[in-house]
Structure 1
Amino acid sequence: MSQPQILIVEDEAIVAMDLKLHLQDLGYGVAGLASTGEDAIVQAARLRPTLVLMDISLGAGMDGIEAARQVQALGMPVVFLTAFADETTLARAKDSAPYGYLLKPFDERSLHSTIEMALYRHRMEQELKASESRMRAIIEHALDLVVILDLSGRVIYSSPAAVHILGYQEGEKIGTPVVDLIYPEDRGKYAAIMGELAKAPGTSLTLEIRVLHKDGTPRLIEAVSHNALDVPGVHGIVVNARDITERRQAELDRQLMESKVQQSQKLESLGVLAGGIAHDFNNLLMGIMGHAGLALMELPADNPIRRRLHQIEVAATRAADLTNQLLAYSGRGKFQIEPISLSRLVDEMESLLETVISKKAHLEHHFEPGLPLIEGDATQIRQVIMNLITNASDALGDRTGRISISIGTMETGPLTPCLAGTPPEGLSVYLDVTDTGAGMEPDTLDKIFDPFFTTKFTGRGLGLAAVLGIMRGHHGAIQVTSRPNEGTSFRLLFPRSSQTSVRNTWEESPDQAYQGQGLILVVDDEEAVRSVASATLERYGFTVQTANNGRDGLRAFYDQAARVRLVVLDLTMPILSGEEVLAELRAGKGPGATVPVLLSSGYSSSDVAGNLHRYGPISFLQKPYNPGDLVQKVRVCLGE
C-alpha cells in the first residue's frame, strides 16, 4: 500500500515544521505546506493529497473552515487543527463536515489515531459511493421488461428490454392483446391471475409464466403485476417481467449436481465400510481356507474326510468371492494393472458367457476393428462383464430374447451424461451390454447401483454395486438407458491406454514335488495367517521365521539379513505398516535393497499399488489364499 500523503495548512511556520516532523515519524508523507486558505485550495487541486490537516484560524483572508468546504468538494478529507473549542467555532466546523477535530496542543498518539480514523472513514465513504454508482448504473440499465396493459389486456407500453427478452422491437406489439404472447398451455393461468388482479386496484401479484419469443420458442418469465388502473398518468396494469429461463435451468442443473454429489458421498462412505469389512473377513477366511488346504495336502486321496474338508474350502472360497465383491464396490479391488484388449477379453470369455445365459437368449458380438487398449485388471473387468451378462439374462426371464455385446470408441468429457462415475476426458473405449428384456422404471433405475438393492428374490444386491466400484477404480463411468418392456443397455466407458501391445504373463503351476530351501520371513499381525504361511512353507522345505508387526519384522530381518531369501509382508499392520517396512528395506544399499518381497493384504488398493511401485517391481498375493497360491507366488519371486 502506498504511503498516505498529507497537506499541512498552518500559518505559523514553526508549528507547521513541527507537525511535518511528527507526521514523518509516524510514517506519513508530507505532500506540501500551505499558510493560507487560498493557497491550500490551489495546492490541494494540484497535489491531490490523501488528507488535509487544516488550521481553522489562518490570519487574514479565507479561514480554514471555508477552505475546508472547497477542499472537500475536490474529494479530499479534512481534519481540523485548532486552539479554539468554543461553541460558535464548533458549530461552523460541523457545517463543513470535517473528518476529525484536534485541539492544540495535541500529542503524537492523538494525531496518529485521528488521521487513521479519518482515512478509514474517507475510504469507506468512497467505497460506498462507488457501490451506489454501480447500483444506480445497474438499475438504470436493467434488463427487466416493463409492460403496461389496459383494462382489456392490450399492450399500451413496452420497455426497450422487449428486444433482448422477446425479440420484438420497441413498440412493435403496442395494441396487441398480451394473451397472444402467452404460451398456449399457460393462458388459463394468465386469465385467472389477471381477472383476480383487475378487481383490486393497488394490489400486486407475482406469477411465473411462459411467454412466446418472436422465434416461437417459450421463455419462462417471473412477473410482478400491479394494478395501477386508478393511478393518474398510468391507468393500466404495470407488469415488471424478468426472463428466468436460464436461471431455472441452472437451478435444475444444480439440483441434479447436488443429487450426484450426495449419491457419490453415500457411495464413498459405504465403500469405505465395505472395504474395511472385506479386509477383516479376508483375514479371518485365511485361517479357514489355509488350514483346510493344508489338511487336504496331508490326507491320503482315499480318506473320506477329504470330502468334508473340500466342502469347507469351497464354502470359504465362496465367502472370499463375496468379500471380493465388497472390495470391488469400495473401489479397492484392483491391483494388477496391465494393457487389455476388451475384444480379446470378451472372445476368451465367450464359452463361459454362453453357460450363464438363458437357453432362450441369443448372444451377439459387435466389435469395431482396430480398437485401442485400456489399462485395467483383467480379473475385475471379467467380473463386470459376467455381472452385466447375468443381469441381462435374468431380465429376459423365460422369454426368448437377444443379448448383445458391443465394443467401440467415442469422444467423452465432463459434459458426457452418465448415471455413475466420472466420464474420461478424450477418446474412450466403450463396452455395451444390451438386452431385450423387461427393462426398468425410472425409480428403479435411480437405485440400481445402491448396495443391497435388488429386484431378485434370491439376490444379494452387490452385483451392480461391484460393477460401479470396479469402474470407479478404473477411472471410468457408466451410462444406462432402459425402457419398461423394451430392454436395458449398459455402456461402460474406459479411458484409452497409451500402450499399443498386450503383455503376455506366465506363472508356473503349483508342483507338489517342488522342494525349496532357505529362510523366509513372514511378517503379519494375524496369527491365523502366520500359522498357515509357516506350515505351508515348511512343508515345501523352507525355514520360516515370523513377526507380528512391522517393527519386529525389521528387527528379525536385520538379525539374519544374509540368510533371508524372501519376505512375505502384510500391508496393514500396527506400529509399522507394510509400506513403511518396505521403504526401510529399500532405503539402504545392503541386503534389504535387493531381497524379494511378496506383499499380501486383505484388500488391494490401486492407490497403494501406485505408491509401492516406486520401490521397484513387486509381487502381490491377495488374502485369503490357499497353500498352492502361496507356493506358486513364492516360486515366482525366487525365480524357481
Structure 2
Amino acid sequence: MARDSDRLYRDIARNFPNGAVLLFDRELRITLAEGQGLAAAGFTRTDLEGKTVHEVLPPLSVALLEPAYRAALEGRPSTLEAPYRDRLYSIQFTPVLDEEGAIAGGMVVAQDVTPQKRAERVRVAFSELGMRLSAARTPEGAARIIVQAAQDLIGWDSCSVDLYLPERGTVQAILSMDSFDGPPVDVPHAYLEGPPGGMTLKVLQHGAQLILREGAPPRAAEGLIPFGSDRPSASLMFVPVRHGERVAGILSIQSYTPNAYTRGDLATLQALADHCGGALERLRVEEALRESQAQLARTEAFSLVMAAHLGLDGRWLKVPPTLCRFLGYSEQELLALRERDVSHPDDVENDLRQQIRLAQNEARSYDLEKRYLRRDGTAAWTYLNCSIVQDTAGRPLYFLAYLRDITDRKSLEDQLRQAQKMEAVGQLAGGIAHDFNNLLTAIIGNAEMLLAEMGSLDPRRMDVSEINRAAHRAATLTRQLLAFSRKQVLQPRIVSLNEIVADLSAMLRRIIGEDIELRLDLDADLGQVLADAGQLEQVITNLAVNARDAMPQGGTLTLRTANVAAEDVPAGDPEAPPLLGPLVVVSVADTGTGMDERTQARLFEPFFTTKELGRGTGLGLATVYGIVRQSGGHIRVRTQLHQGSTFSVYLPRVEGAAGGESEIGADADAAPGTETVLVVEDEEAVRALARRVLASRGYRVLEAGSAADALTLAAEAREPIDLLLTDVVMPGMGGPALAERLARGRPGL
C-alpha cells in the first residue's frame, strides 16, 4: 500500500510545472523528489532522494526553512517565500499521515513565483517612477533615477545614459557608473559629445540589443563604452530611450557575469526606457532653452542691439546695417518701405495699436515679441522695445525702436510644444485604436462566423455582410491610427524599393487618372532596405493619392529612387530620427498647388486635412509619418505655394538580397484539429471569439483572462497543452514573458 502511495505521489509530482514536490520523513530525510522545476534549481532526483535537508541545502536556507519542516511534523502546515539561487519560491509545508492517521512525515510544494513577483515589482516601480521623474530638473537627474530603477528591477555592474541630439547628429554622455566590486560610483565619460558609432549607431538604427558572451573582444571592436574598469563585460543590454516618434537617448546596463540577462530582461529594460523617454526629452529641451537664455543674457551686454528710427507714418527713417542684414534688404530698399510692409500680417494690428498709444502720450514705451518677414519670405522673431521721441514742446517726432533677434529661442519653444503635442496625440490615438481594435476583432469574427453558418438565400445574410464590411472599414481606420502612434505590428524583411515602386505603378496609373502623367526614375544600383513591404506600399500609395489631389487640373507625378549618404541630406526637422550611414530614398514629386507655411506646420497631424468635407479622413499623411518613423526612417518635405511638392522618404540601407513573400496562408478545407489550445486574452469578447472559432475546428480550448490565470490553469491541467495563443500586451505579464515561462515548464508546448 505504501508503495502504491509513493507511486501515486511520484506520478502526480513528476509533471508539476515550474517547481518541485518533496516528501520527507521524521528525520528530515527526503524520500521523494519530483517536478519539472528541479533542474532550474540545479538538482536531480538522485541529488536529493535519500539525503537529509541539512545535506542538500546551504546553511542559510536550512536556517530559514527548518522551522517550517519541524512545524509540518507537528501537524502545523505553513507557507513562506524564500529565495534560492536567482529565483524566488513560494513553499508550502504540510504534514503527511500514515494509514493509522499518525504523522509519518511531510510534503513540500515549491512553486517558482519569480515572474509574478518581477511583474509586480515592475508595476510598482513604474507607478513610482513617474512621480520621481516629475521632480527631476536636469537630464542627468533623470538619468540617475532611470539607472536606479534599472538596478532595482534587473541589476547591473555598470551603466551609462547618453542623450541623442538630432539637430547636431551626435550623442552626449550624461551619466556613467561602475560598481568596481562595491557600491556604484560615477566614472569619467569616455567622451563628452560625438557622432554615434559602433553599438550606439546600431541601437539608433535597429533598436534594442542583447549581447551575451564568455570572452569579450577589445571594446573598440564594437564601440562599447568603457565604464572605468579593465574587465570586459560579459552580459550587455542597450536600448533606445524613445519619446513618441524620436529617440531621446540610449540606456545601457552591463554585467561582468556571463548570461546574466535574458530576452525578458531586455523587454523590461525597453519598457523602462520608453516609460522615461518623455521626461528625458522634456528635460533636454528645457535645458537647451535654459542654456540659450543664459547665453543670450551673457552676450546681451556685448551684442549690438538693432536700433532704428520709425516715422509717425510707419516708414523707416534710419536703419542700421545689422537690421538690413537681418531682414535681407539693402538700406535704400528698407528706407523705401513702411514697417508694416516687412511685418508678419498677424502682428501688425497689435504693433500699430501700441504705437498709437505712444503718439497720444498714453504710454512712455512698450515691449512685445513680434515677427518680421525677411526678403526670402521666412519669418524672424524679434524682441521689440519701442518708445517715442518728442521735441521740446512735447510734440512727437518719431519712434525709437530697439530690436533683438529671438528666432532661435522661439524655435526651441516651438520644438518643446510640438514634441509634447505629438506625444500626447500619439498616445491618445494608439490607446483608442488598440481598445477599438479589440472590439472590431470580436465584431468581424462573429460576423464572419454567422456568414459561414448562413445559407446563400438566408434573408439576414445581406445585413450581416453590411455589418462585416462596415467593421472592416473601421478596422482600416484603426490600423492607420496605430501606424501614426507607432503601435502597428510590422513584419520587416529585406526588400527592394525599385520592385515595390514598379509593382505599384500599374495600380497608381489607375488611381491618379488619365490627366496626370506618371514618371518613374529608378536607380538601377539601388540598395536594399529592411522594412515591411506592405506598409511601404501604403506609404507610396498615400503620397501618390495626396499628390493627385494637389493636381486637380492635371500634371506630372514622379516617383524617384536613389542611394544617398546621410551627410548629403539637407538639414530638417530636429524631431527626426537619426540619419546615419548609407541611405536609400524614394521621393514622390508633383507639379501641383504646393503648400503654405501654415499647412506645412500641421501636415502630419492626424485628422488635419485641407480637402473639402467628405474627401478625406485626415489620416493619410499621419499614417505615412508613423510608418516611416516606426521603420527607422525619416520623411522630408520640400514645397512652395503654386510650385508643387516633393515628399522624400529616407530609410537605412542594408546588405543582403531581397526576401521572397511569405507563403503562410489559411486553408479553409484543412483537417479539423484535436489538440488542446490555451487562449490567453484579457478582452472577454476577443477571447470568446477565439474559443468559438477554435472549438468549431475541433480543438479543445482552455481559456484565461490574464497571464496569472494562465499559469494557474497550466499548473492544474493534467492533460498536455499543445499550443499557446496569447495577446502580446496584457496587464501584469505580457504574452512573450508568459510564453517563455510556460515553455520552461512544458517543453512540448
Q: TM-score, normalised by structure 2?
A: 0.46
How is 1:34-433 mapped onto 2 (pairs within 5 angstroms)?
Answer: 183-185=331-333, 248=405, 251-397=406-552, 399-412=553-566, 416-418=571-573, 421-433=576-588
Match of 1:553 among 706, 710, 716: 710
Change (3 A) 1:425 1:476: same
The offset of 1:143, in angstroms, is 8.1
Q: Does residue 494 of the first structure (1) align with residue 648 of the second (2)?
A: no
> What are the superposed Cα offsets for residues 104-162 of structure 1, whole Å, 9 maximum, x if unpaired?
xxxxxxxxxxxxxxxxxxxxxxxxxxxxxxxxxx99xx9889xxxxxxxxxxxxxxxxx
Q: Does residue 449 of the first structure (1) align with residue 600 of the second (2)?
A: no
Task: Name the SS of the counterpart of 2:564 in structure 1.
Answer: strand
> What are the superposed Cα offsets for residues 8-41 of structure 1, whole Å, 9 maximum, x if unpaired?
xxxxxxxxxxxxxxxxxxxxxxxxxxxxxxxxxx
Residue 591 (structure 2) aligns with: 436
Distance 1:429 1:561 in 2: 55
Residue 202 (structure 2) aligns with: none
The offset of 1:292, in angstroms, is 0.6
8 Å CA contact 2:724–2:739 kept in 1: the answer is no
Task: Name the SS of the counterpart of 1:520 in structure 2.
Answer: strand
Q: Which one is further off, 345-354 or 462-471?
A: 345-354
Change (3 A) 1:368 1:444: same
Residue 206 (structure 2) aligns with: none
8 Å CA contact 1:480–1:491 kept in 2: the answer is yes
Q: Which one is further off, 346-355 or 545-554?
A: 346-355
The offset of 1:448, in angstroms, is 1.3
Distance 1:585 1:424 in 2: 41
8 Å CA contact 1:418–1:478 kept in 2: the answer is no
The offset of 1:570, in angstroms, is 1.0
> What are the superposed Cα offsets for residues 46-82 of structure 1, whole Å, 9 maximum, x if unpaired?
xxxxxxxxxxxxxxxxxxxxxxxxxxxxxxxxxxxxx
Match of 1:528 among 681, 685, 700: 685
The offset of 1:321, in angstroms, is 0.4
Task: Name the SS of the counterpart of 1:359 in structure 2.
Answer: coil
Change (3 A) 1:561 1:420: farther
Q: Does residue 542 of the first structure (1) align with residue 696 of the second (2)?
A: no
Distance 1:561 1:344 in 2: 52
Residue 311 (structure 2) aligns with: none
8 Å CA contact 1:432–1:491 kept in 2: the answer is yes
Task: Name the SS of the counterpart of 2:609 in structure 1.
Answer: coil
The offset of 1:513, in angstroms, is 4.3
Distance 1:280 1:577 in 2: 16
The offset of 1:254, in angstroms, is 4.2
Distance 1:420 1:478 in 2: 11
8 Å CA contact 1:519–1:563 kept in 2: the answer is yes
Distance 1:313 1:378 in 2: 26
Aligned partner letter, 1:308: D
Aligned partner letter, 2:653: R
Change (3 A) 1:561 1:372: farther
User: Percent identity, aligned pairs only?
Assistant: 35
8 Å CA contact 1:450–1:465 kept in 2: the answer is yes
Distance 2:448 2:473 in 1: 15
The offset of 1:355, in angstroms, is 2.7
Aligned partner letter, 1:364: R
Distance 2:666 2:505 in 1: 24
Distance 1:530 1:328 in 2: 24
Distance 1:453 1:188 in 2: 40
The offset of 1:529, in angstroms, is 0.9
Residue 505 (structure 1) aligns with: 662
8 Å CA contact 1:435–1:489 kept in 2: the answer is yes
Change (3 A) 1:344 1:561: farther
Aligned length: 381
Q: Which one is further off, 552-561 or 314-323?
A: 552-561
Residue 617 (structure 1) aligns with: none
Aligned partner letter, 2:666: S
Task: Name the SS of the counterpart of 2:693 in structure 1.
Answer: helix
Distance 1:512 1:293 in 2: 16
The offset of 1:374, in angstroms, is 1.3
Distance 1:430 1:423 in 2: 14
Aligned partner letter, 2:741: E
The offset of 1:585, in angstroms, is 2.4
Distance 2:657 2:409 in 1: 40
Any unmatched runs of 5+ in structure 1? 1-137, 146-164, 166-181, 190-205, 207-219, 223-241, 596-640
The offset of 1:404, in angstroms, is 1.2
Aligned partner letter, 1:497: V
Any unmatched runs of 5+ in structure 2? 1-297, 305-321, 323-329, 338-366, 368-381, 385-401
Q: Root-mean-square deviation (CA), in Å?
A: 4.1
Distance 2:570 2:524 in 1: 27
Aligned partner letter, 2:583: S
Task: Name the SS of the counterpart of 2:646 in structure 1.
Answer: strand
Residue 135 (structure 1) aligns with: none
Distance 1:420 1:306 in 2: 50
Task: Name the SS of the counterpart of 1:432 in structure 2.
Answer: strand
Task: Name the SS of the counterpart of 1:285 in structure 2.
Answer: helix
> What are the superposed Cα offsets for residues 490-522 of structure 1, whole Å, 9 maximum, x if unpaired?
111112224444244211332234322210111
The offset of 1:305, in angstroms, is 2.5
Distance 1:537 1:284 in 2: 19
Distance 1:514 1:566 in 2: 17
Q: Which one is further off, 275-284 or 473-482?
A: 473-482
Distance 1:333 1:366 in 2: 30
